Structure 1
């Protein structure tokens, strides 16, 4: 049995980088669609008056992140099946 350690290391490295990238994209999508706390007037920063909806730009960026995650997963499934 002959193991190609360089190929194994390459597969491991690419897997780690792609996994971290997909997790970061998904996290950006979650942050982009979440509501942000709104500060009440005054100097006390602990008081929260309510929440504000994300802007259209943040929401569309979040949807783009989710689409990239979906594309990466679909490509992975395609590679497994093909």
Structure 2
């Protein structure tokens, strides 16, 4: 059995960057959509940005499922 360590390291690196990036985008959506400390809710622009973050996360998950199923 021969393990290609370079390819394994590359897969690990790409997976780590994608995971951290996806969690970061989702967190940005949560923070953007959260109520402000003054008691006001998020503005329309902030809510639109949060929904864009959620849509990006959904697209990334759907693409991952597509890659696994294909």
Query: TM-score normalised by the shorter chain: which range applies?
Result: over 0.9
Shift of 1:22: 0.4
Taking the aligned partners of 1:37 and 1:78, their CA distance within structure 2 comes to 40
1:8-30 Cα offsets, whole Å, 9 max, x none, are 00000000000000000000110
Give the structure with the higher percent helix: 2
Taking the aligned partners of 2:47 and 2:24, their CA distance within structure 1 comes to 16
TM-score (norm 1): 0.84
Instruction: Pick the aligned partner of 2:59 from 71, 78, 81.
Output: 71
TM-score (norm 2): 0.98
1:43-73 Cα offsets, whole Å, 9 max, x none, are xxxxxxxx11101111100000000000000
Corresponding residue pairs, total: 70
Structure 1 residue ranges (4+ consecutive) displaced by more than 3 angstroms after TM superposition: none
Q: List alignment gaps of at least 5 residues for structure 1.
A: 39-50
Give the structure with the higher percent strand: 1
Structure number with bigger Rg: 1
CA RMSD of aligned residues (A): 0.5
